A and B are shown apart, each in its own frame.
Chain A
Amino acid sequence: MPGLAHYLVLSALLFALGLFAVVTRRNAVTILMGIELMLNAANINLVAFNKFVAPGAMQGQIFALIVITLAACEAAVGLALVLAAYRTLETVYVDEINLMKW
């Protein structure tokens, strides 16, 4: 039966994959995908701790729900910023977005 350590290892691997996408991708949209993977990894940890360490409290699941809500906010604002940057600078590659003022 999978225990807490199994879930922690899985979420560590998922977090590392997300981090790899964030530091190596050039396209801002794929960087946001990496951030979503990292938030998912954190959520797996929260729910696993809720079940295996503090089963009496619901705080882990509550916190996971709040993280999901804030991830939706982050995706909406992040993608809006990508659209605004694309409209003025005509690129979505973050290494070409290097102007403080247009």
Chain B
Amino acid sequence: MSGEAIAFYLLAAVTLASAVVVVTTGNIVHAAAALVPSFLGVTGLYILLNAEFVAGIQVLIYAGAITVLILFAIMLTEGGTGLAGRQRNEQAAAGAAVAAAIAILLVAVAGRTTWTPEPGTLPSYTPGAIGQSFLRQNILVFEGTSIVLLVSLMGAIMIARREE
């Protein structure tokens, strides 16, 4: 087994194990904390896939910002671990069946489809290529996303603000 395969299986195990903790634990603070190793495992996978810039952004935004935001939301609402209340609704069995069915379907489709690789190679320095792409071919997407980000953060402030 090559080093890349070992790294892949280790990162996949970390990601999936902490995702299982996120979805099953009754303690919502533990669920939010378990998000961090899950996101960091995905970061390692991005590095294995030669996407170093996406990996850096994943650490900054997911592992840094979104987890802290979720912890703030937990503390500002119930302000506790959630162990006192029931965390799961009555549909646990049906939900597990649906999730398992979708997982089996996706795995079967992924195994049966053959993908024909296009010619070309990844650039050796992907952050530079991403920057060039964002400011040339994809500038409309870039500007549109920045407007969506501005509007949604302003909307979040308006919604969360206490009414006078």
Contact A10 B156 (CB under 8 A): no
Count of B residues near A, CB < 8 Å? 88
- Inter-chain CA distance A51–B126, complex, in Å, is 11
Within 8 A of A (CB), among B79-113: 82, 85-89, 91-92, 94-96, 98-100, 102-103, 106-107, 110-111
- Taking CB as reference atom, which chain B residue is nearest A19? B99
Number of interface residues, chain A, beta carbon within 8 A: 73
Main secondary structure of the interface of A (DSSP, over half): helix
- Considering the complex, which residues of chain A in the window 58-78 have a beta carbon less than 8 Å from any beta carbon of chain B? 58-59, 61-62, 64-66, 68-77
Residues of B with Cβ closer than 8 Å to A? 2, 4-5, 8-9, 12, 15-16, 19-20, 22-23, 28, 31-32, 35, 38-39, 42, 45-46, 48-51, 53-54, 57-58, 61-62, 65-66, 69-70, 72-74, 76-78, 82, 85-89, 91-92, 94-96, 98-100, 102-103, 106-107, 110-111, 115-123, 126, 129-130, 133-134, 138, 141, 145, 148-149, 152-153, 155-157, 159-160, 162
